[in-house]
A = this chain, B = another copy of it.
């Protein structure tokens, strides 16, 4: 498999996005986010998405000239429209606004509407940690999971992410979708003709299935059963009712070229520890918990492994398949 430096990978992605109609800022911000994912072992959200994004830019599902802008604002709260562009420039503006407002008002919540594929939340949250703030990030996505007791997919897989900076050491970074497993695992099992464990998916009739193809036509199950489905509902409500974004079931899947403008919603909550118990208390509390965690063999601090991968990738680059490499070269022109 070809091994590329992160610069080479980012350059291919950026050129492909420019060629498909993204403006310079959208192309470079998006390329940075995709490389961030590949460097951290999150290939499903890395440059493999370039073909999808460029197809959506070409056929109008995303607008390459969209300029994210603030459409509502009051104290610590603000709403950003991504203008149906790719998500990354809008998320960058939202987080930057959220950090400024948390400095001024102690806490901020900035929503994003009319957006596209959210990507890796940790990328968006990184500047929050750098600013010494606590951050939470939420998003919906095209419907993949049913609500508790339901059969039809109504909710996205609705990731929850959080960053907690430390006085010394890299921030704690938690980032997870609320589905039991990623949809990609069903796609691989379906391709290989292999069964899936019960608990991953329901078929179109709402019956638990071990048939990957049936699961893809049905819905993914939430992590933690009914409780996880309830959490996904909370996320769905927060990122749509406050922002006006589309509900998961109103958006066409990202995995096809044709379809509507997905109009997805995101939300970023930022809190300044200085506005509550203060930074000294904050630092003491987080280090006390970290010390108790690392005292146990087998416990890894969240974000630690990804950061080590990123360090290695910055030196060694990352491997991608020949097929993906050729596709990127073709799209970059």
- Give the residues in chain B near A162, CB-CB below 8 Å: 234, 237-238
Q: Which of A225-277 contact B (CB under 8 A)?
A: 225, 227-228, 230-231, 233-234, 236-238, 240-244, 247, 249, 269, 271-277
Of residues 57 to 71 in A, which have CB atoms within 8 Å of B's CB atoms?
A: none
| Residue A281 CB within 8 A of the other chain | yes
Q: Are the C-beta atoms of B105 and A72 separated by less than 8 Å?
A: no
- A193 at interface, CB cutoff 8 A: no
For A316, what are the chain B residues with a Cβ–Cβ distance below 8 Å? Answer: none
Partner of A276, one of B77, B237, B272: B77
Contact yes or no, A299 B148, CB < 8 A: yes
Q: Cβ of A286: which chain B residues have Cβ within 8 Å of it?
A: 237, 241
- Report A299 CB to chain B, min CB distance, Å: 5
Determine whether the beta carbon of B150 is less than 8 Å from that of A241.
no
> Which residues of A285-301 are within 8 A (CB) of B?
285-286, 288-289, 292-293, 296, 298-300
In the bound complex, how far is the Cα of B79 from the Cα of A241, in angstroms?
28
CA distance A77 to B136 in the complex (A): 16
Residues of B within 8 A of A277 (CB): 72, 79, 111, 113, 241-244
A72→B289 contact, CB < 8 A: no
Q: Does A282 contact B (CB under 8 A)?
A: yes
Nearest CB of B to A271, in Å: 6
Is the CB of A195 closer than 8 A to any CB of chain B?
no
A12 adjacent to chain B (CB < 8 Å): no
Q: Contact: A79 with B276, CB < 8 Å?
A: yes
With an 8 A cutoff between CB atoms, is A317 at the interface? no
CB distance from A27 to the nearest CB of B (A): 29
- State whether A242 and B299 are in contact (beta carbons under 8 Å apart), knowing that A77-B276, A289-B154 are contacts in the complex: no
A308 to B216, CA, bound (A): 37
Kindly state the separation between the CA atoms of A134 and B282 in the bound complex, as whole angstroms. Answer: 27
Give the complex CA separation of A162 and B233 in angstroms.
Answer: 10
A108 within 8 A of B: yes
| Residue from the set A222, A285, A300 with the largest chain B CB neighbour count within 10 Å | A285
**Given A149-B299, A272-B77, A296-B152, A242-B109 contact (CB < 8 Å):** no
Report the bound CA distance from A113 to B80 in whole Å.
34
Contact residue among B230, B236, B244, B274 (Cβ-Cβ distance under 8 Å from A302):
B230
Contact A74 B106 (CB under 8 A): yes
- In the assembly, what is the distance between CA of A148 and CA of B298, in Å? 9
Q: Is A183 an interface position by the 8 A CB rule?
A: no
Q: List 13 A-B contacts (CB under 8 A).
A: A72-B275, A76-B106, A77-B271, A105-B107, A113-B277, A134-B238, A154-B293, A164-B237, A174-B233, A176-B227, A223-B223, A237-B286, A247-B285
The 10 closest A-B pairs by CB, nearest first: A77-B106, A224-B224, A75-B105, A223-B224, A244-B277, A77-B275, A74-B275, A74-B106, A107-B109, A244-B281
